[in-house]
Structure 1
Amino acid sequence: MIIRWWRAVAGSEEVLRQYADHLERTTFVEMAELPGHLGASLAVKVKGEDQELVVMSLWSDLASAGHFEKGAFDDAVVKPSTQKLLKSFDLKVAYFETVVATGKLADSP
């Protein structure tokens, strides 16, 4: 299983709510239709006044994770409307190959 990892910073809780809503309504729906998609999540770490975000998606293999590829394999795909919303964001994503897992993750291909 491949973990695709991306980080960003929202400047406020309101921006966090807007971004979470955007993910639920569009990005996560679009991802769910792609072959090899196993799930996705948005997590937040409160750091002062900013909200540090991590978007993690799970894929059956590296080829499936590459559905997002527009340029280089590790280029982040960040829509212009999302760029305007967030305070900052990573231009690159990181991919991790799962070595061992437990629970439901262990049952994924």
Structure 2
Amino acid sequence: MGGEMVERLLIIDDEEMFVKGLKLSLEEEGFEVDAAYDGEEGLEKVRIGNYDLVILDIMLPKMDGFSVCREIRTFSNIPIIMLTARGDDVDRIVGIEIGADDYLAKPFNTRE
């Protein structure tokens, strides 16, 4: 991201209460935050939106996060942070190998 301020974020996660809390925390820090609740909706929003960062869950309805990440990488270099309850090493390695820029396991502190 080269020291640039990330301003517009997209959270792709099917856990509505989690998204609501994360969105509120990020908005309090001055970010504009949008959300999608399944993989297909998230992918479509990335295609038509002008986001600076995607926060992407792995376990999503309609299209899993790994597939969403792979597809995004066919048309964009937008930074992607994989965020998931599946925090084992294999998932982390796969996430990075398919194009994610970072990987955080849930639960996490929003100050991370």
TM over 0.5: no
Report the TM-score when normalising by structure 1.
Answer: 0.28
Larger proportion of strand: 1
Higher relative contact order (CA 8 A, sep 6+): 1
- Give the structure with higher Rg (CA): 1
Report the TM-score when normalising by structure 2.
Answer: 0.28
